[in-house]
């Protein structure tokens, strides 16, 4: 389905994940973050960019993988994206929901 996010019509699935990454931009990410109750900071954007790089490199995302990444620890990940950090951060990043998320 299509929905209006940050002034752009984007295709999303029933959970609000973008179906076409080419429709993502920072404004879209910012609006999704706001809807999720997240106020984006430079640190949030660093994590979002890392997630996007992992997906572009065709690497599976998981909490365990993030723990081993050296990019951030699990405690910080939960502090930045409370209530489901992998699910929320990937939605903001405009990438598909990880298979490890239920």
Phi and psi torsions of 17, nearest 5°? -80, 135
Nearest residue to 36 (alpha-carbon basis) of 87, 88, 78, 75: 88
Catalytic site residue 71? no
CA dist., res. 45 & res. 64, Å (int) = 20
Catalytic-labelled residue, pool 6, 40, 71, 101 = 101
CA dist., res. 52 & res. 101, Å (int) = 17
Conformational region of residue 64, where left means phi above 0, alpha means psi within -120 to 50, and beta covers everything else: alpha
Cite the active site residues: 101
């Amino acid at each position: 389905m299509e929905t209006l996010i940050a002034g752009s019509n984007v295709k999303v699935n029933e959970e609000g994940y973008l179906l076409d990454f080419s429709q993502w931009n920072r404004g879209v990410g910012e609006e999704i973050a706001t809807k999720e109750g997240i106020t984006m900071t430079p640190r949030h954007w660093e994590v979002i960019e890392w997630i996007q790089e992992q997906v572009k490199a065709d690497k599976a995302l998981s909490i365990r993988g993030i723990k081993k990444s050296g990019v951030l620890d699990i405690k910080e990940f939960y502090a930045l994206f409370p209530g489901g950090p992998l699910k929320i951060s990937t939605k903001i990043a405009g990438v598909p929901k990880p298979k490890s998320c239920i």
